[in-house]
Structures are given as structure tokens and as C-alpha cells.
Amino acid sequence: MKITAKQQTLAITGGPKAITKDEGNIFHWPIVTSADENAVLDVLRRGAMSGTDITKRFEQEFADWMGMKFALGYCNGTESLRAAMWACGLGAGDEMICPSMTYWASCTAALSLGAAVNFAEILPDTLCIDPKDIEHRIGPRTKAIMVVHYCGYPCDMDPIMKLARKHRIKVIEDVSHAHGGLYKGRKVGTFGDISAMSMMAGKSFAIGEAGMMVTNNRDLYERCVAYGHYERTGLPSNFNAVDRSIFNPALNKFAGLPLGGFKHRMNQTCSAMGRVQLKHYDRRITEIQAAMNRFWDLLEGVPGLRAHRTPPTGKSTMGGWYAARGLYRADELGGLPCAKFCEAVRAEGAAMCNPGANIPLHLHPVYHDADIFNQGKPTMIAFGQRDVRQGPGSLPVAESIRDISYSIPWFKHDRPAVIKAYAQAYRKVAEHADQLMT
């Protein structure tokens, strides 16, 4: 088909839209079948929402799927991350290193432990923590490095683990964006000392308000149980050998009450759905991977646009492509601002196209001035921490996120015609960027 001059006129300047097809249910998620419904209804009819029988089965199945020894269910991802930080020994006066570009829940609970967050830079091509921006941040009170497999991209774990071992600090993986993703052929969430993740309704593994901790380290597991799972400490269980005896006498002494005063139990409507979702998850993300790679293959070589994806030939994958992004290089488009590019793509019919991702956390006032403990001092420095607060200009890549990235459609099904239309919207604007440079 010959492309007419009219078709090449951008929709924002009065041309025809690139996307005219109905997208159907290609974006609908999670996929819920009668199996999910029946599992949840069974919990409701038994009045078993606050029990742990289903959750323990789900934990075992999830641990097996991850290839890990221990999994522990949580009421949400934020709490699983708080528990992981505490389990790693993060306490008053300590520090944790975390990339600035992530959702706040990766690190904000550190403040509630009296610790400071030392924010690190991200790499412009992966949007994940820059392994070279970690070591110089390690101080005598640094207890952990939080890594985030950001928007599905697996962090470069090899150099990070090497650094952490050298300095004897713990690595926590926030897997909230990357369930089922691989780094060099191995599942993300299996590299660090402990991993935690969200399973809330918008994530790629989506079962409601829920989270999960996984680890191979029995001590860390027991600490997580002791911190917020009071109903398990010291109690026998058919499903989890560790419940039978919390070995650590210091923790066992507190059996029956949560050390942290937290209540971290997962609602069993979520774990029931989780057990069903897990059976289908590998197959479903394989289709997502095919669809998303199809989208990027169609945009290969388009000026200004770069895929945010692992090399197709390698053994790393993007999991379920949560919050999928594209990379933007304005210099190849005559300096067209990313926000203007996105506005034009939206006009073509791709409503999800917006500049940026999360906000750069190191600039947020919570990490400068918030006084959570009413001490008359910002919590970042109130417990004798080094002052690691960072102002504008300190992490330029994270701060430029709205200039270098944008959202792309998150396809759940590999349907070539729809995917092609969306790719055409992005291609058309990039190839006719001159029409926007008035």
C-alpha cells in the first residue's frame, strides 16, 4: 500500500490517526478465569480470609517456582520490603543504598527504621542502578543495597553481588516490576540475600493487595516471621518446617507477639488467586514477551527511539514487562522535547504515551526534611547518620527521566495487527518530528 502525504501528516496537526483499530482486550490484566473466581469464593464461603492454610500452600508453590527455600506472604509489597530491610539489620543510624529512580516503597520504610537512604544513579539505557555508583557510597553504617529490576529490566547483578560480598553488606532485590524475569538465565529475586515484591492488582503478577518475600537464608526468613507474623512464631505447621521451632532463642522468647508490632499476613482471597495465577503465569508472560518484542522489532532503527529491553540473543528477559518504557534520544530528533513527542503520539491514538517514569526520589522533601519521630530534626540525620542528602544536579540521569523515557503500550496478547498500529503511531511521530519543530 502506498503511503500518501496525507497519511504522513501527524494527527496533532490535523492528519489521520495511526491507530484506528479497536484494541479489544489486548491491555486487559490480570486474566481472571472461573478457576480464580472459584478459589476466591471458596475462601469467602469458608470465612477463611484471615487464615493461613491457603497462604502457606501458595508460599510453598511460589518458593518452588522461584527455586528458593523460603517464601513468606505479605499484605502488600511495601511491608515485605520493610521486613526485608529490618531482617538485614537496618536500624537506627544505619544507611541503605537504593537507586533514585524507583517507586517510593523500595526504600521509604528505611526512614521508619531510623535509617537513611543513600540514593544512587541509574544507567540511561537500562534505567537500573549503575553498579559503578555504589562502592563510593558504602560507609561504616551501610547495611544493605536495595536493587530494583526497573520496569522489568534485570539489574546487572554480578558486579553488585561482588561488591556486596567484598564489603559484607546485604543485597535486597525489589522484584515488584519483574516477576519471572531472568538475569543470565536465572530468575531475578534469587541473587541477593533476600527478595521482596509487590503483587498488587496493577503488577505483572497481580493478585490484589499482596506481597511476597523470598530467601534461601533461614535466619532472614525467621527474622521476617518474628517481625510481623505473630501467628506463626513458635507454632507448629504442616506446611512449613520452620514454623515448628523458631531456632533462634532470642526470637523464640518473643513467640506470639510480633517484634516489630506489625501485622503482615496476606488476605487469603489473594493467596487463593495467587495459586491459580501461578499455574498460568509462565505461559502468559511468554506471550507478553513475544508481543513486546514484536512491538520493538517494528521500531528497530527509528531515529530517537530505543528499546528498553534486554538483547534478544542473551539469556536475560524482561519478565512480564511491567510498566514498559521506551528510551528517548532527543538529539536524533532535532532536540524535540520528549513531552512534545508523547503529546503527538497520544494524538495518534496511543493514550498511554507519557514522558518519564517515577519521580527521582533523592529530591523529594521526605528525604530532606521529614521529621517522622518528632525529634525536631529530619529523620535522614536524626539518628546520627551521615548526611547523605543530595540536591538538584547530583544524579543527572535519574533527574532527566522525563527527557529520556516514555511509556509504551503493555500488550498482554501477541496480536500482530494491533501491535503494528501502535508501533506505527510511535514511528510516524519520530519520522515526522520536523512537523513539530515550528
Ligand X SMILES: *Cc1c(COP(=O)(O)O)cnc(C)c1O
- CB of 198 vs ligand X, minimal distance in Å: 3
Strand ranges inside 56-210, DSSP E: 70-74, 95-99, 116-120, 142-148, 170-174, 182-183, 186-187, 194-198
SS3 content of the chain, % helix, strand, coil (to 5): 40, 15, 45
Binds ligand X (CB under 6 A): choice among 52, 55, 76, 293: 76
Does 102 contact ligand X by CB under 6 A? yes
Binds ligand X (CB under 6 A): choice among 52, 78, 215, 269: 78
Does 105 contact ligand X by CB under 6 A? yes
- CB of 139 vs ligand X, minimal distance in Å: 24
| Helices assigned H by DSSP within 106-154 | 109-112
Does 198 contact ligand X by CB under 6 A? yes
Does 106 contact ligand X by CB under 6 A? yes
Which of 224, 202, 223 has its CA nearest to residue 212?
224
Could you count the other beta carbons within 10 Å of the beta carbon of residue 296? 18
Place of cell 512491538: 295
Separation of alpha carbons 278 and 62, rounded Å: 8
Residues 50/267, Cβ–Cβ less than 8 Å: yes
Closest CB to ligand X among 206 and 430? 206
Task: Return the range that interacts with ligand X (CB under 6 A); candidates 7-15, 174-182, 238-246, 424-432.
Answer: 174-182
- CB of 112 vs ligand X, minimal distance in Å: 14
- CB of 203 vs ligand X, minimal distance in Å: 6
Closest CB to ligand X among 102 and 390? 102
Separation of alpha carbons 260 and 272, rounded Å: 27
Residues 125/153, Cβ–Cβ less than 8 Å: no
Q: Which three cell numbers stand for residue 331?
A: 538529539
Does 30 contact ligand X by CB under 6 A? no
Binds ligand X (CB under 6 A): choice among 82, 143, 170, 177: 177
Residues of span 108-167 touching ligand X by CB under 6 A: 148
Interface with ligand X (CB under 6 A), residue total: 15
- CB of 200 vs ligand X, minimal distance in Å: 4
Closest CB to ligand X among 290 and 359? 359
Does 173 contact ligand X by CB under 6 A? no
Give residue number: closest CB to ligand X. 77
Closest CB to ligand X among 353 and 361? 361
Does 176 contact ligand X by CB under 6 A? yes
Closest CB to ligand X among 127 and 307? 127
Residues 77/105, Cβ–Cβ less than 8 Å: yes
Separation of alpha carbons 3 and 14, rounded Å: 16
Which of 247, 186, 189 has its CA nearest to residue 218?
247
Residues forming contacts to ligand X in the complex (CB under 6 A) are: 76-78, 81, 102-103, 105-106, 148, 174, 176-177, 198, 200, 211
